[in-house]
Amino acid sequence: MKCIPLLVLLSFCNISIEAQKTNSFLIYSVKGSVTTVENNKGTKVKIGKLLTDKSRLTVGPNSLVSIICNESSLFSVTKAGSYSMEQFKDSCQANKSSITSNYLKFIWNQLTTPKGNPEKNRKNYMNNVGAVSRTSISVWVDSRFDTINYNNGTFPVSWKCYSDADEFTFEVYQMARGGQPVYQKTVTKTSIYISDFAAQLNPNTAYYWKILAKGEESDERKLFFIWDNASYEKLLAQLRNTQKEFETVAEENFRLGFLLESARFYSEAYQHYKKAAQLNPSAQLFQKTLEAFKKDYNIEQ
């Protein structure tokens, strides 16, 4: 019982600390004349500038500014005037729903949206279309590139284009949908080497990439995952040890190449296929597989 007043006091302190937290505002987009006053000094705001509660923002006529608050919520100011950033603190409330409220929302939605069953209410169940789609997107990416695992080496991510587009934008994101690209490059070829962008990404993090021809929308984003050395070596050791029977080094490399290709480690698979073909040049299977692999993934000779 003695603990209760202490708990109440701690809770009160926690609430007070939460209330005292300052907000940080990041300028996300600017159009027109937007200035900020900090420490009695006025400057024109630029994308990426960080403001605090104490900053003051002046938006000119026909201007707008979009701001991200506390890495969570985005809002825009379009009306001309001078604003204290503190007055935007209500826009900083992130939509952090608790598990309970999310669960209750889910239950609510489930309970209030009766759909019947496919036999009795077929119109609600006719969303499955049994036809392949040939959309207006002219860029085609092999479905094997839906997921790319990577640890080392050089390997081209390639695509085909059915239009006359001569410029493509390759983008890498941290999210499957939405967000800003963490890597962007315009290329004129129909491929890009993984090593060109992998160095700028963090290992053990899921990234999503897409390729778009100029003036076109793109297909869904594909997964790209960089394995750190320790994890990759562990996986490789596991794959190596799955075969207990005798095999030559060339055969082992060929098997590893096959297993790694299946596991979508294309760059690493290529290295093992190459090694197998080099170690045993007389083996037709190794040579032909390597040739087919190069052809499949558009690897230049």
Partner 1 sequence: MQPPKRPLKKNRFVFIKKSYQWLHRFYLRYLIKRDTILATFSVFFVIGLLGLLPFDSGILNPFKTALKDLDFNDISYSVLHKNAGTPIDNRIIIINIGNADRLGLAAMIEKIRQAKPKVIGLDVQFAGPKDPQHDSLLRHMIGSTPNLVIVSRIDWSNKTNTEQVGYFGIYTPNRGYANFIGEDGGTIRNFSPFEKVDGKFYPSFATAIVARADSTAYQKLKHRKKEYEVINYSRKEEQYLLIDGLDLLENNTTTDFFHNKIILMGYINPDPYNVEDKHFTPLNAKFAGKSIPDMNGIIVHANIISMLLDANYIQDVPSWLFWLLTILICWMHVALFMRYYIEEHIWFHIVAKMAQIFFAILSVYIGIQFFSWFNLKIDTKISLIVIILAIDIIYFYEALAVWLHSKFGFKTNFHSKSH
Of 110 and 301, CB closest to partner 1: 110
Six-digit token string for 288: 């032909």
Please count the residues of the chain. Answer: 301
User: What is the rounded CA–CA span in Å between residue 207 and residue 226?
Assistant: 9
Decide if 171 contacts 186 (C-beta within 8 A): no
How far apart, in Å, are the Cα atoms of 34 and each of 25, 238, 295?
14, 58, 54
The mark string for 42-71 relative to partner 1 (x by CB under 8 A, - otherwise) is ------------------------------
Decide if 38 contacts 70 (C-beta within 8 A): no
Q: Is 244 in the site for partner 1 (CB under 8 A)?
A: no
Shortest Cβ distance from residue 233 to partner 1 (Å)? 26
Shortest Cβ distance from residue 297 to partner 1 (Å)? 15
Of 129 and 199, CB closest to partner 1: 129
With a CB cutoff of 8 Å and minimum separation 6, the contacts of 158 are 142, 190, 191, 297, 298
Q: Is 122 in the site for partner 1 (CB under 8 A)?
A: yes
Of 119 and 300, CB closest to partner 1: 119
The mark string for 85-114 relative to partner 1 (x by CB under 8 A, - otherwise) is ---------------------xx--xxxxx
Q: Taking the CA atoms of 75, 76, 80 and 82 in sequence, report the sign of the dihedral they define.
A: positive
Residue count at the site for partner 1 (CB under 8 A)?
Answer: 31
Shortest Cβ distance from residue 214 to partner 1 (Å)? 15
The mark string for 124-143 relative to partner 1 (x by CB under 8 A, - otherwise) is xxxxxxxxxxxxx-x-x--x
Q: How far is Cα of residue 18 from the mean position of the Cα atoms in its chain? A: 31
Q: How far is Cα of residue 39 from the mean position of the Cα atoms in its chain? A: 38
Instruction: Map the footprint of partner 1 across residues 144-203, applying CB under 8 A.
Output: 162-164
Q: Which residues bind partner 1 (CB under 8 A)?
A: 106-107, 110-115, 118-119, 122-136, 138, 140, 143, 162-164
